[in-house]
Amino acid sequence: MNTIINDIEVLKAKTTKINEVDFDNLKFGSVFSDHMLECNFKNGKWQAPKVVPYGPITLDPSAKIFHYGQSIFEGMKAYKDAEENVWLFRPLDNFKRLNISAKRLAIPELPESYFMDGLKALLEVDKDWIPKKDGSSLYIRPFVFASGNGFHASPATEYKFIIATAPSGSYFSGEVKVLIEEKYSRSANGGVGYAKAGGNYAGQFYPTQLAIEKGYQQVIWTDDNTHEYIEEAGAMNIFVRINDTLITGPTSDRILDGITRKSIIELAKSEGIAVDVRKITVTEVVEAAKNGTLKEMFGAGTAAVISPISGFGYKDQDYTLPKLDDTFASYLKKRITDIQTNKAEDPFGWRFKVE
């Protein structure tokens, strides 16, 4: 059955899978809703987006995504409040960052209306998939990849933009222990570290696997040149609390301009928490751990919002962070999630109602 929502053509699935889902026990990103948004770039322009049934994609073996890795993505969430209203968190920031990533990987940039109107149409069709349980949300994955064919090492002439969604529970549970990386790098100056390119994450898997084998859950990435400066935590931005000051590295070619990161900085400042955006050395963190001034470390990103770090390893030495009754991490996470889920006022204008 075809309908039109926000000028977007909708081809509804013949059946729904929603009755097969246990919404009280959702793993992150493993169950997918009934529909997805699909839009193709060909003949030099983006074609009209459509909402279609979620399902497999057919590609030629010579599609350039398989050979040259032109692939970018975003991570977002939709929330439903007690009155069944649907909310997004800073969606235009995701749209803008997707196009920043597209430009860096020579992918055609998307029109804002295709992204926003398409997303709203998709959420209207699949609004029953948005869970209401605390800590749960509908995870949204917009992504673009090269679908055009050819073995020649050049940008593709055809691309596919898709938004798929997955009702999900919490991304992380509990605290994590991390290993400060001394050899491998996530990204380099002049590279694509600031873009959400699939290859950035593929390159993280092996060093993270080595860290897991040593008893850690994640890697703290350091700069590519000297490995002296802390930059990111796994697939997240990182914050370090020394005494009562939150410190995080400045964005650069190597560090993603995280939307949760920006929100934490702005929120913390509004709450009177001292925030220092500057380079921070591994030596400074180790010394703070030794002298007791290192109070907290946590990762920040869309999936987990804030993920506390319980300890870290460096040069075959483990350091344990203190267990505090009241942490910046727990306070800031609650403030952000309350805004996201419409449980608190939003003085920043971050919350976006889907209508």
Inform me whether the pLDDT recorded for 288 exceeds 90: yes
81 burial level (CB within 10 Å; 0-12, 13-18, 19+):
middle
SS (H, E, C) 198-248: HHHHHHHHHHHHHHHHCCCCEEEEECCCCCCEEEEECCEEEEEEECCEEEE
Would you call 277 helix, strand, or coil by DSSP? Answer: strand
The domain 2-168 having CATH identifier 3.30.470.10: the answer here is: yes
Give the model's pLDDT for residue 2: 85
Q: In the numeric block, which tokens belong to residue 328?
A: 């910046």
Domain boundaries, the chain: 2-168, 176-340
Give the model's pLDDT for residue 173: 61
Inform me whether the pLDDT recorded for 235 exceeds 70: yes
Helices (H), the chain: 65-68, 91-104, 112-125, 198-213, 259-270, 282-291, 328-340
Beta carbons within 10 angstroms of residue 244's beta carbon: 11
Class of domain 176-340: alpha beta
**Which residues lie below 8 Å from residue 70, measured CB to CB, with a gap of 6+?**
64, 105, 106, 107, 145, 146, 155, 156, 159
pLDDT digits (tens, 9 = 90+) for 239-255: 999 999 999 999 999 99
pLDDT digits (tens, 9 = 90+) for 309-337: 999 999 999 999 999 999 999 999 999 99
Give the model's pLDDT for residue 135: 87
pLDDT digits (tens, 9 = 90+) for 157-208: 999 999 999 999 877 667 799 999 999 999 999 999 999 999 999 999 999 9
Beta carbons within 10 angstroms of residue 149's beta carbon: 16
Instruction: Supply the pTM of this predicted model.
Output: 0.96
Give the model's pLDDT for residue 167: 97
